[in-house]
């Protein structure tokens, strides 16, 4: 069983080449996996972003609508009893001024 040095060198070179090929293949597979994963994450983030944007837009519209309703109701109430609301606002201002002056 005499194995020559040249045979060992050839086997070692073949083993090195095989290892390089395996590592290259592994690297390519890893790149493909990472690329596929990043595409899925990107798609999920885009979907979530669109959903969040729609929800926020709807909430903004509802808040704006309710705010307009409150302002309109307040204007109507003030129109019915203007002196009552003016005196109430004056009393609140005097009270707030007195409280702020004491501190």
Examine residue 7 and state whether it is found in any structural domain, yes or no: no
The answer on pLDDT for 27 being more than 80 is: no
**Helix extents (H) in the chain:** 5-80, 82-102
| Better-scored residue on pLDDT, 85 or 34 | 85
pLDDT band at 21 (very low <50, low <70, confident <90, very high): confident
Q: Which of 2-11, 15-24, 30-39 has the highest mean pLDDT?
A: 15-24
Examine residue 37 and state whether it is found in any structural domain, yes or no: yes
Joined together, the tokens standing for residue 46 give 């885009």
Crossing angle of helices 5-80 and 82-102, in 10° steps, is 120
Examine residue 51 and state whether it is found in any structural domain, yes or no: yes
| Better-scored residue on pLDDT, 100 or 32 | 100
Domain limits for position 96: 26-102
Q: Let me know if 84 is exposed, middle or buried by CB neighbors in 10 A (0-12, 13-18, 19+).
A: exposed
Task: Say if residues 78 and 85 touch (Cβ distance below 8 Å).
Answer: yes
Joined together, the tokens standing for residue 87 give 């005196």
| Better-scored residue on pLDDT, 1 or 96 | 96
The answer on pLDDT for 79 being more than 60 is: yes
């Amino acid at each position: 069983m005499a194995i020559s040095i040249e045979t060992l060198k050839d086997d070692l070179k073949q083993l090195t080449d095989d290892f390089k090929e395996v590592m290259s293949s592994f690297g390519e597979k890893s790149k493909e996996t990472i690329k596929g994963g990043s595409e899925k994450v990107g798609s999920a983030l885009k979907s979530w972003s669109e959903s969040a944007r729609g929800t926020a837009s709807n909430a903004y519209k509802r808040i704006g609508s309710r705010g307009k309703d409150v302002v309109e109701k307040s204007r109507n109430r003030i129109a019915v009893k203007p002196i009552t609301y003016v005196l109430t606002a004056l009393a609140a201002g005097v009270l707030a001024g007195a409280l702020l002056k004491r501190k």
